[in-house]
């Protein structure tokens, strides 16, 4: 069989972060083809004889990992399986060992879908690497139905815990009462013992045996209500959670209000004294308005685009980082924190931003008061075909007044087509529409000087979009 043909026929495609598709399309041969093509696409650039694997808690993930491992064996490489751990834990351990790795996860998308994230020994693959995988043509033997059981190692989990337990003092979270919304997060067995080792009083909340597709970029009304109720019941200082694979944080303040990911990223970058940032175009403009950074570069949405900017920033600055509106924080350079060296981890990580903000003497709501008064809301239309999203955005880009007049908004002062259509109005409010890179969804972001206004803009824009082609 040929990897290129199998992949082309699979209906699996690369999105903003990894290859995603329906579980039914991740057949054993498709998983093997992707794994083999990945290794062949990087083997001339790096020297290694081992590949690491890990998974999230989706029902389909273990079988996909088995198929990936079987495919890799045909290349005569060793496979280390780390079980269910967060994506950044896998990436961190692989980078320490200077080997590539594959994470089986669909992140926040529904459980009937899944995905593969690929990491070179030096970090996430690039968009160029993605094309190399898709174009690789490698003959391999079709897999049998009986896949070998995988032997699990705890080494990646231990290394990830050690990264943060050594960074902070053992009393960093002393006196803090923290709820951990565990659901089906890949890191749920890590967070409580880590937080407790730093002095926190931790209460586990709503652990689930059924996969829960938490989207940190579009928090459900149900999860907002849960946080408010939990805070009232337990008098928490904060509530912490993540998306499915533990690379995107979800943090609520002492009042039970979830922080937006870019707000958390801004606070984190200030605490780390970051000099230069790379952030997607969808992030809150409070970043620039805070005047905290020497340079802020805006990119297309997706961690590969953020990481691609790091090389440019490294030429001029020593403390660089990036983050996304969904909360994933990427540390682009080695820096000193608390008098200790923290090595770069240029992939989305949920723990660093949460721990830094929680370790402050000020409560979270008071930390937020020091930021510019800008609020972002976001939501999505699910089961909205990607080609329909692109057609809508193309039409609106050619005539922005159709959108502004349809929503009863003021005239626009600027448009940005870096990723979708981002319209800035003369009153400094922003509406941004784009197709999701991971699922058939139309995403909307809105920014205003009040959260209420931002939410209303999102609701109105999605309603307009949904009705436009009816």
Which residues are the active-site residues?
107
DSSP helix/strand/coil, 365: helix
| Cβ atoms within 10 Å, residue 448 | 22
Q: How far apart are CA 321 and CA 307, in angstroms?
A: 9
Beta bridge partners of 432: 422, 445
Both tokens assigned to 186: 């890949």
- Give me the residue label for tokens 């981002």: 422
Q: How far apart are CA 88 and CA 349, in angstroms?
A: 6
Q: How far apart are CA 7 and CA 37, in angstroms?
A: 9
Sign of CA dihedral 292, 295, 298, 301: negative
DSSP helix/strand/coil, 335: strand
**DSSP conformational letter for 24:** G
Return the exposure string of 243-278: e unless at least 16 CB atoms fall within 10 Å of the residue's CB, then b. bbbbbbbbbbbbebbbbbbbbbbbbbbbbbebbbbb
Three-state SS string across 268-286, please?
HHHHCCCCEEEEECCCCCH
**Closest Cα partner for 465 from 403, 379, 414?**
403
Which residues make Cβ contacts (< 8 Å) with residue 439, sequence separation at least 6?
A: 15, 20, 109, 110, 113, 382
**Closest Cα partner for 374 from 436, 424, 323, 419?**
424
User: First and final CA of the chain: distance in angstroms?
Assistant: 44
**Closest Cα partner for 52 from 112, 7, 96?**
96
Q: What angle do CA 275, 278, 279 make, to 5 degrees?
A: 125
- CB 351 within 8 Å of CB 88: yes
**DSSP conformational letter for 219:** -
């Amino acid at each position: 069989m040929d990897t290129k043909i199998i992949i082309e026929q699979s209906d699996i495609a690369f999105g903003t972060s990894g290859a995603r598709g329906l579980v039914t399309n991740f057949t054993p041969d498709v998983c093997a083809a992707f794994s083999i093509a990945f290794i062949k696409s990087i083997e001339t650039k790096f020297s290694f004889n081992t590949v690491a694997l890990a998974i999230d808690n989706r029902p389909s993930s273990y079988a996909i990992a088995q198929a990936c491992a079987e495919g890799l064996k045909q290349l005569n490489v060793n496979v280390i399986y780390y079980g269910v751990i967060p994506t950044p834990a896998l990436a961190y351990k692989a980078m320490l060992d200077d080997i590539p790795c594959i994470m089986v996860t669909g992140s926040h998308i529904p459980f009937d879908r899944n995905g593969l994230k690929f990491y070179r020994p030096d970090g996430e693959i690039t968009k160029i690497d993605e094309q190399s995988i898709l174009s690789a043509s490698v003959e391999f033997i079709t897999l049998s139905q009986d896949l070998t059981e995988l032997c699990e190692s705890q080494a990646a989990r231990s290394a990830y815990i050690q990264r943060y337990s050594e960074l902070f003092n053992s009393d960093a979270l002393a006196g803090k009462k923290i709820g951990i919304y565990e659901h089906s997060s890949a890191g749920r067995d890590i967070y409580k013992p880590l937080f407790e080792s730093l002095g926190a009083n931790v209460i586990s909340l709503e652990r689930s045996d059924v996969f829960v597709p938490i989207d940190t970029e579009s928090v459900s009304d149900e999860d907002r209500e849960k946080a408010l109720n939990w805070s009232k019941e337990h008098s928490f200082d904060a509530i912490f959670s993540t998306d499915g694979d533990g690379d995107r944080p979800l943090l609520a303040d002492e009042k039970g209000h979830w922080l937006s990911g870019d707000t958390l990223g801004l606070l984190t970058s200030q605490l780390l004294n970051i000099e230069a940032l790379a952030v997607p175009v969808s992030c809150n403009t409070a970043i620039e308005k805070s005047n905290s950074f020497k340079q802020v570069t805006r990119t297309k949405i997706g961690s590969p685009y953020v990481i691609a900017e790091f090389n440019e920033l490294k030429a001029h600055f020593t403390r660089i980082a990036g983050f996304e509106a969904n909360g994933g924080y990427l540390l682009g350079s080695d820096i000193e924190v608390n008098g200790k060296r923290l090595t770069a981890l240029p992939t989305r990580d949920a723990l660093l931003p949460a721990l830094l903000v929680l370790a402050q003497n000020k409560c979270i709501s008071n930390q937020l008061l020091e930021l510019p008064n800008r609020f972002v809301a976001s939501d999505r239309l699910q089961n909205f075909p990607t080609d329909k999203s692109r057609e809508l955005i193309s039409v609106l880009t050619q005539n922005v007044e159709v959108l502004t007049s349809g929503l009863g908004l003021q005239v626009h002062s600027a448009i940005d087509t870096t990723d979708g259509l981002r319209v800035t109005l003369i009153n400094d409010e922003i509406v941004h529409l784009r197709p999701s890179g991971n699922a058939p969804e139309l995403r909307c972001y809105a920014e205003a000087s009040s959260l209420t206004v931002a939410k209303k803009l999102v609701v109105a824009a999605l309603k307009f979009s949904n009705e436009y082609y009816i």
